[in-house]
Amino acid sequence: MDAFDVNLPRDIDACHELILELDRERRRQAAVIAQQQETIAQQQAIIAQQQETIDRLQSDVDLLKRTLYGRRRERFVDDAQQGLLFDSTIVGADDDSGSGDDEESDDDEPSPERRTSKGRGRRLFPELLPRKTVRHELDEQEIPEELRSDPTARRFFKKTSEQLEFTPASIHVIEHYQEVIVRDEASGETTIATAKKPPQLIDAYAGPGFWAHLTASRFADHLPYYRQEDILARHGCRIGRGTQQRWLFALALAVAPLVELMRRLALQSEVLGCDETPVKMLAGEPPGCTKTYLWSTVGDNAHPYDCFHFTPDRSRDGPEQFLAGFQGYLQSDAYTCYERIAAADDRIVPVGCWAHARRKFEEIHFSAPSVRTHTALGYFQRLYDIEDRARDSSVSQRGALRQRDAKPIVTEFHQWLLEQSERELPKSKLRAAIAYMTNRWQSFACYLDHGAIPIDNNRTEAALKYAVLGRKAWLFFGNSQGGEAAATFFTLTKSCNRHHVDPFAYLRDVYTRLPTTPASDLPSLLPDRWIDEHPQHRLQERADEARQRADRKRARRAQRRAHAATPR
């Protein structure tokens, strides 16, 4: 008998006790294992949560780095598998019916090449520039003897070249003399008649041209007051920044009726774009920088005015005030202020911005590209291709094209979003991007019903960036009066920019004529009507440049659509 057999109890009770002890040990070990498994599960959940946080923070860091150092263009580049994402190729790539422009002819045209520095040819200067003649005469010693002694030789000047020269801007003083007639009466009294001076818009020792220069420099060229002070000093006359500010405040009050007319006309638009941006203000309560806001409202083509409004905060009170009386389609981002205003007034129809929605998917695709983000961006691309084809179409043609080609894609995209939402985790960024659209789907699909509604609100964002350029230069408003003045002048200068109007020439004429212009004639001073009467002040080169750039982009897109539609 071995040692193992010797150690075993032979008594029945002892055997039972041993079995019970072993069972209790087994239970203790099972409890320890269960506790360890529970701890492991908890640790795995914590690790998964931490990893999700790390991924989210890493995504935010990538986006911040991209904002600081990377490209700003939200471009979606096709790959060879793009056509496999959908059942069919891009809708309407080979169909030129109902779009108002001939796609086939666009595809057949060669893509406009980018301008290069080579082969520019001789530069022709505009005829409106003043010209000075410089004659270069031959020295008598340089004339050959046979020409000098020949009486039949002819001497003349030949134009060989043109050279552009710059004369610094000059400041001059206008001395006003008023004619006075005096007659001494026999009674000892004196009769005096004095000629009247033309009325001035404000009481200041400067004229309309000087005010126009200050306004255009500040709100079209975005120069701070202290830089203008130094520039004027170089021309022989230093005007302090405080004086400049007081003059512009007075001018803002003087042109307020014209600006209010532009704002009222913009509110008559069938489709009105709206957006806002923060601006710091120094004089606040409590003391120090406070955050104020500039809002832009962009009218449609029938009411072509880009208007700005100032509010001390981002509350609903400001938009409710400057949008009072508007009825139509209000296009904006998903800020709750706009949604509540539309919900409180059934005359206002909210319209979503597809560019904002696309940006959310593009940010996810940038940090963590996947088949789902690629598919979502593919849907956006197909819809924007349709808009590109309809760019030159009439409102009715664009609406018909959207109903025929875009509506099926929008319906399919909506169904795809709902399916993907059920598969995503609650805190997933992709699910948040999907919810941004599905929770407001009616406002996003609204553009299909009317050809006048843009697919996105980019035109309003572009108008707002005009003020943002200035904010980067002058940094803040001094007080609320400065914010109101800025909104007034941005309305004037940005509306000039929209119509390619020289802001200096426009403002100088407005400052000159406004004191004697009755309220009934104010419409003649609107930028779109003013430029029709003064076509010489249209910045035609800038308009041609913008049109050529748009044509090049359109030709490249047409070639891409043709390539995507070609069977592989």
Verify that 420 and 281 share a domain, yes or no. no
Verify that 531 and 392 share a domain, yes or no. no
Closest to 495 (Cα-Cα) out of 334, 296, 283, 290: 296
Model confidence at 18, pLDDT cuts 50, 70, 90, reads: confident
d(CA 325, CA 323): 6
Verify that 274 and 406 share a domain, yes or no. no
Mean pLDDT of 226-253: 92
Contact 440, 352 (CB under 8 A): yes
pLDDT > 70 fraction of the chain, expressed in percent and rounded: 88
Give a yes or no: residue 169 inside a domain.
no
Alpha carbon 496 to its chain's center: 16
Give a yes or no: residue 374 inside a domain.
yes
CA distances from 312 to 19, 243, 288, 294 (A): 82, 25, 14, 9
pLDDT > 90 fraction of the chain, expressed in percent and rounded: 52
Closest to 502 (Cα-Cα) out of 536, 458, 526: 536
Rg (CA), the chain: 36
The domain in which residue 492 lies consists of 206-350+456-537
Contact 564, 90 (CB under 8 A): yes
Q: What is the pLDDT of residues 491-530, one digit of tens each?
A: 999 999 999 999 999 999 999 999 999 999 999 999 999 9
Domain final residue, candidates 452, 468, 486: 452
Domain final residue, candidates 452, 472, 498: 452
Contacts of 240 (CB under 8 A, 6+ apart): 229
Q: How many CB atoms lie within 10 A of CB 171?
A: 13
CA distances from 161 to 82, 123, 127, 128, 158 (A): 55, 10, 15, 18, 9
Q: What is the pLDDT of residues 89-145, one digit of tens each?
A: 344 444 444 444 443 344 444 444 555 555 455 667 777 788 899 888 888 888 888
d(CA 143, CA 149): 10
The pLDDT assigned to 122 comes to 62
Verify that 420 and 504 share a domain, yes or no. no
The pLDDT assigned to 93 comes to 42
Answer yes or no: is pLDDT of 150 > 70.
Answer: yes
The pLDDT assigned to 425 comes to 81
Answer yes or no: is pLDDT of 298 > 60.
Answer: yes
Verify that 346 and 367 share a domain, yes or no. no
Answer yes or no: is pLDDT of 80 > 60.
Answer: no
d(CA 284, CA 290): 6
d(CA 514, CA 524): 11
Contact 209, 508 (CB under 8 A): yes
Contact 390, 99 (CB under 8 A): yes
The first and second tokens of residue 41, run together, are: 């599960």
In degrees, rounded to 5, the angle at the alpha carbon of residue 350 between the alpha carbons of residues 347 and 351 is 135
Verify that 249 and 381 share a domain, yes or no. no
Give a yes or no: residue 438 inside a domain.
yes
Give a yes or no: residue 513 inside a domain.
yes
In degrees, rounded to 5, the angle at the alpha carbon of residue 397 between the alpha carbons of residues 393 and 402 is 105
Contact 326, 272 (CB under 8 A): yes
Sign of CA dihedral 223, 229, 231, 237: positive
Model confidence pTM above 0.85 = no
Contact 488, 255 (CB under 8 A): yes
> Which residue's structure tokens are 């963590």?
368
Closest to 255 (Cα-Cα) out of 28, 492, 565: 492
Mean pLDDT of 342-365: 92
Task: Say how many domains are in the chain.
Answer: 2
The pLDDT assigned to 198 comes to 86
Give a yes or no: residue 72 inside a domain.
no
The pLDDT assigned to 1 comes to 46
Verify that 218 and 282 share a domain, yes or no. yes
Contact 349, 342 (CB under 8 A): yes
The pLDDT assigned to 118 comes to 53
Return the minimum-mean-pLDDT range out of 257-261, 267-271, 453-457, 539-543.
539-543
Question: Based on the number of CB atoms within 10 Å of its own CB, is 308 exposed (0-12), middle (13-18) or buried (19 or more)?
Answer: buried
- 3-state DSSP call for residue 462? helix
Q: What is the pLDDT of residues 177-236, one digit of tens each?
A: 898 999 888 887 888 899 988 888 998 999 999 999 999 999 999 999 999 999 998 888
Sign of CA dihedral 405, 411, 415, 416: positive
Q: List the beta strands (DSSP E) in 286-336.
A: 290-298, 306-311, 328-331
> Which residue's structure tokens are 């929770």?
439
Verify that 341 and 260 share a domain, yes or no. yes
Contact 493, 307 (CB under 8 A): no
Contact 196, 179 (CB under 8 A): no
Count CA atoms within 13 Å of residue 161 on its CB side: 4
CA distances from 422 to 224, 357, 401, 406, 417 (A): 53, 19, 32, 25, 9
Closest to 350 (Cα-Cα) out of 360, 362, 359, 341: 341
The pLDDT assigned to 416 comes to 96
Give a yes or no: residue 405 inside a domain.
yes
Verify that 425 and 442 share a domain, yes or no. yes
Give a yes or no: residue 460 inside a domain.
yes
Per the prediction, the chain carries an average pLDDT of 85
> Which carries the bigger pLDDT value, residue 137 or residue 564?
137
Give a yes or no: residue 97 inside a domain.
no
Question: Based on the number of CB atoms within 10 Å of its own CB, is 267 exposed (0-12), middle (13-18) or buried (19 or more)?
Answer: buried
Q: What is the DSSP letter of 283?
A: B
Verify that 345 and 486 share a domain, yes or no. yes
Answer yes or no: is pLDDT of 427 > 70.
Answer: yes
Contact 460, 296 (CB under 8 A): yes
Verify that 298 and 320 share a domain, yes or no. yes
> Cα torsion at 353, 395, 350, 456 (round to 10°)?
10
The pLDDT assigned to 6 comes to 59
Domain final residue, candidates 419, 452, 485: 452
Verify that 425 and 486 share a domain, yes or no. no
